[in-house]
Structure 1
Amino acid sequence: MRSLRITRWALGLASLVTGFGAMASTQAPSLPELTLRQGHYSLQLDGRPWLLLGAQIHNSNSWPQVLTTSWPAIMATHANTLLAPVYWQQLEPAPGHYDYSHIDALLAQTRAHHLHLVLLWFGSWKNGQMQYAPDWIKTDPVRYPRALSAKGQPLTDLSTFSQTNLQADRQAFTALMNHLKSMDGTRHTVVMVQVENEPGLFGAVRDHRPEADVAFAGPVPAELAQRLGHNAGNWSQVFGDRAEEAFQAWQTARYIDQVAAAGKAVYPLPTYVNTWLHYKNKHQPGLDYPSGGATDTVLDVWKAAAPHIDAIGTDLYATDRDEFDRVIGQYHRADNPAFISETGFDAAMPRLIYDALSASAVAFSTFGIDGDPASPADLAARQAYATEFALLDSINRPLAQALTEGRVRTDIEAAGKTRGDIDLGHHWKAQVSYGPPPWGDTPPTPAGSPHHDGHVLLVDLPDGSWLITGSRARVELRRDHADGRHGQIIRAGQGHFDAEGHWVMERLWNGDEIDYGLNFGDRPSLLRVVAGTY
């Protein structure tokens, strides 16, 4: 019989927490890191798996005086992490002269609100352009040259073939990381750094400066051809119709990798690059999306070119579940985690976090949470994110640990899909239905929830119990009789985890609460369920 060994589990966890506390008192907490163990990625915070649930402010709202007005909206989402830009234009107003007041204010305000922070380096790129480069770079195109179009016209992008461009960005980013180490090296308010923002080229598929033309006509670097399993040849011979985009991707990724490597040499926080995606019906690089960014068509090139970038994030704004899952499938690979760097601030988005969790996502962040004034759509999105983020962050540590071990199962409702089965192993499965009556038998074809946004999360805990929660759904635990044994619920306890990670039971569900499955309404409950046989 599966049984809930509460006492043994609690004592074991208590000793683990006590032991960790004693160890922490004698040595500084370890740096945040992105790890890969037994095929599962994990973002480690203070040496333990942790799930990043992020709220990103609007592009120009990171200025200290403006940020103070954004905090009510940030906190209303129940995110555990703020994503905020650092502007090269502000950081380095004159060559070699740095103003750290902005970063210090970000740190101070984030700590005052007890959140973590991801810094977004708006350096050579923001949305495929150089808008956040310092004035002294924008006004000196001779020293800091721009990429050229096929007709020889200057574009709104710095050329990746310029060592002066690279050196300037690399030096500023290194200064940022060095200051961050001095201000946050033992506190770890900042858990990750995004290097650049949606990099790539608009106005051309590749740079057409003379030195770029020479490089494009030359051989593909041997390390890239070998990594991709291609024979030697020039870019057109190796990549065919995708040659120009692959070439620009290699140059962009190599440039950014050198920036990241310099910063990590002084303070090795995890780094990632976010991606303006190559969506369906968006086919033209340099026009529909920045050419050379880490789109799915050149992701292998990026992985070969940028070893100092720990993750490629997806700016995934698709509310269509099939499209959302397709993109996750493209980027969740052996060499890259499921990392949702941006989603839309839309009430339809938060439920899709459960699809991301089924791919063991390490981060899920939404963009533009601080509209001023907040529209009705903003307020609806705020409530939708708050519901899911608050629930998930309340179980963050056990959930993140389970994600690293493949012990998480999810199901999501969709239009026309009002039933689902989740295989739990050991002869057990969970039958999920959306829109059944709150009490009584489940109809053969449930009606579905009003907005088709029901979802369920099941976590297989180490002691053999299940952690189950959901919204607008019914979960019925079933066991086959292949071994002649019948299944039963021994205990279904509603509760929560306290700050130390101990389970605190609030009540037991029995009778009407379990006769017709476990029913979850608009306000999700957290259940710890022990099943057994007879």
Structure 2
Amino acid sequence: MRRTIAVALTGLAIAATAPQVAVARDSAATSLPRLERHDGRFSLIVDGEPYFILAAQLHNSNAWPDMLDASWKSVEALAANTVEAPVYWEQFEPEQGRFDTENVDALIAKARATDKRLVLLWFGTWKNGQMQYAPEWVKRDPATYPRQLDAHGQPLDNLSTFAPANLKADRRAFTALMAHLKEVDGNRHTVILVQVENEPGTFGAVRDHSPAANAAFAAPVPEGILKSVHRSSGSWQDVFGPDADEMFNAWANARYIGAVAQAGKRVYPLPMYVNCWLRYKDKKYPGMDYPSGGPTYNVFDIWRAASPAIDFIGTDLYTTNATEFRKVLDQYHRPDNPAWVSETGFEPGTAPLLYEVLARGGIGFSLFGIDNPPSDTQTATITAHARNYRLLGPINNLLARAMADGRLKAAIETAGASRRTLDFGDWRVRLAFGPPPWGSSPAIIPNSPDIDGRAFVIRLDADHFLVSGVDVRASFERTAEDGRRGQLLRVEEGVYRDGRWQAHRWLNGDEVDYGINFHKDARLVRVKVGAF
């Protein structure tokens, strides 16, 4: 049902460096989704329990009510527990001050009907480094809502972050969205995260050259930024030299987006993040290879200092190269930021890479553009990723809690490296990827034909481990130096139902003599170990 609301929002002037608003500790606030950090690890808490996001992201133009039934068929086939879907500023505020909640309400209703969670993506000032989703009344009035200017004074397809009217307009709309979510979902938590803007930054220039921007560029670098990058005082050019334009633009964008997020959190403090068009694959020219001033790794410290209301940064990581994937994850998996793949490419080759997120104790993984027309590629990709999602979904809470506690380890197969070892202190698990041979493994194990191997191991308690994998053999060895030898006491294949382990069969003899073999089928094995 279409619902239109008119909202007058006042008192929203927010300092970009203001601390996050403290939330009243009432029952509704304490049960809100939140990001927790402890012992250097992160957890997304949903309804009081750790939650690992297994997401399907809709195509950009498919978050309309009439498109949802068709799109949701792919969501269900993927077995996703979460759907990422955009909210379009141009649709949400078609006339200044009038807010249309039809699309948002349809998404929430569909997610509830299918027992899914939602991550809403605010397509406001930015979408892919441009102002594509700004309302028509903004686009038609550059005198009121100025554009960024390049070094020659020509307008760019970006709203200037130094124009108060631009910030006021985006902030007002975003706050109306958050107010509506609180009203319709504040006790249900269908929406668990909000992405503020989409791949922000500037194309066509490294920074804004409007008069207000030039004046800020010539001014001293703010003290908070200097502290974050461990530099002495001076202008942006003095402090950062040849990188000054990009660093300045990162500060400008982060400050602007942080103010938008802060305003929304004053109303309804859900966790909020920004996704990043990455500087990777040997791309190095800001404003050409990637949007200048987005939260790329080289300006990350500036972003964290300038946008305290943003809880974390996500990676839009489009590669099937495991080395490149790991490199980017390690750039963003930091003491102040969890591993979070906010988008990855819709292809079978990205499926094993989910296990790299598990290995880093990340908070989730999202497959972009899942709702395509039927094709062999669509079927193959959904099948490859659904193998992961269907395995991990039923143990989501156990999985997320194990990562929060540091009890999960994982690895994937890479070309030329078919062996890995997972160390649990008094025990280790040796992994041999590739087609499991009969009998003892040869000295050189070939990779599997599609290099699709992966495995994770969770230590359940002192004597029990949960194991699963694809194209891998797992062998347990006791490493405690107490003169005792390790042994497998029981190996069970089974499932978790309602949080309880149910064994289907016990494995022994040929199935465990040379390790526990996993092929393409997704299955769980619980191992009880002992010593004599």
Shorter-chain TM-score: what band? over 0.9
What is the one-letter code of the residue matched to 1:226?
K
The worse-fitting range, judged by mean Cα deviation, of 356-365 and 445-454 is 445-454
Gaps of 5+ in 1: 1-25
Aligned to 1:533: 531
User: 1:72-151 maps to which residues of 2 (within 5 A)?
Assistant: 72-151=73-152
Cα distance in 2 between the residues matched to 1:429 and 1:30? 38
Offset, 1:438:
5.4
Offset, 1:39:
1.1
Aligned to 1:462: 461
Does the residue aligned with 1:469 lie in a helix, a strand or coil? strand
Q: Which of 522, 526, 531 is the equivalent residue of 1:524?
A: 522
Aligned to 2:509: 511
Decide whether the 8 Å contact of 1:128 with 1:199 is kept in 2.
yes
Cα distance in 1 between the residues matched to 2:263 and 2:378? 39
Decide whether the 8 Å contact of 1:438 with 1:519 is kept in 2.
no
Aligned to 1:201: 202
Does the residue aligned with 1:348 lie in a helix, a strand or coil? helix
| 1:82-127 Cα distance to aligned partner (Å, 9 max, x none) | 0000000000010000111111111111111110000000000000
Q: Calculate the TM-score normalised by the size of structure 1.
A: 0.93
Decide whether the 8 Å contact of 2:425 with 2:480 is kept in 1.
no
Aligned to 1:20: none
| 1:36-71 Cα distance to aligned partner (Å, 9 max, x none) | 112110000111111011100100110110122111
Does the residue aligned with 1:156 lie in a helix, a strand or coil? strand
Gaps of 5+ in 2: 1-25
Aligned to 2:376: 376
Offset, 1:436:
4.1
User: 1:111-510 maps to which residues of 2 (within 5 A)?
Assistant: 111-371=112-372, 373-426=373-426, 428-437=427-436, 439-462=438-461, 464-480=463-479, 482-499=481-498, 501-510=499-508
Offset, 1:228:
2.0
Decide whether the 8 Å contact of 1:124 with 1:132 is kept in 2.
yes
Aligned to 2:20: none
Q: Give the share of equivalent positions with the same residue, in percent.
A: 52
Cα distance in 2 between the residues matched to 1:258 and 1:492? 54
Decide whether the 8 Å contact of 1:88 with 1:132 is kept in 2.
yes
| 1:282-309 Cα distance to aligned partner (Å, 9 max, x none) | 1110111000100001000000000000
Offset, 1:424:
2.0
Offset, 1:448:
2.2
Following TM superposition, the consecutive aligned residue runs of length 4 or more in structure 1 with deviations greater than 3 angstroms are 26-29, 436-439
Cα distance in 2 between the residues matched to 1:241 and 1:323? 27
Does the residue aligned with 1:335 lie in a helix, a strand or coil? coil
Cα distance in 2 between the residues matched to 1:267 and 1:111? 20
Q: Calculate the TM-score normalised by the size of structure 2.
A: 0.93
Offset, 1:480:
4.2
Decide whether the 8 Å contact of 2:410 with 2:457 is kept in 1.
yes
Does the residue aligned with 2:148 lie in a helix, a strand or coil? strand
Does the residue aligned with 2:98 lie in a helix, a strand or coil? coil
| 1:179-219 Cα distance to aligned partner (Å, 9 max, x none) | 01111000000000000000000110000001111111111
Cα distance in 2 between the residues matched to 1:203 and 1:487? 63
Offset, 1:250:
0.3
Cα distance in 2 between the residues matched to 1:365 and 1:317? 11
Does the residue aligned with 1:515 lie in a helix, a strand or coil? coil
Aligned residues: 506
What is the RMSD of the two structures over their aligned residues, measured on CA atoms?
1.3
Decide whether the 8 Å contact of 1:55 with 1:367 is kept in 2.
yes
What is the one-letter code of the residue matched to 1:510?
N
Offset, 1:357:
1.1
Does the residue aligned with 2:226 lie in a helix, a strand or coil? helix
Offset, 1:464:
3.4
What is the one-letter code of the residue matched to 1:526?
L
What is the one-letter code of the residue matched to 1:169?
D
Offset, 1:27:
5.8
Does the residue aligned with 2:483 lie in a helix, a strand or coil? coil
Cα distance in 1 between the residues matched to 2:199 and 2:435? 43
Cα distance in 1 between the residues matched to 2:200 and 2:378? 28
The worse-fitting range, judged by mean Cα deviation, of 417-426 and 244-253 is 417-426
The worse-fitting range, judged by mean Cα deviation, of 27-36 and 387-396 is 27-36
Cα distance in 2 between the residues matched to 1:191 and 1:376? 33
Cα distance in 2 between the residues matched to 1:441 and 1:225? 58
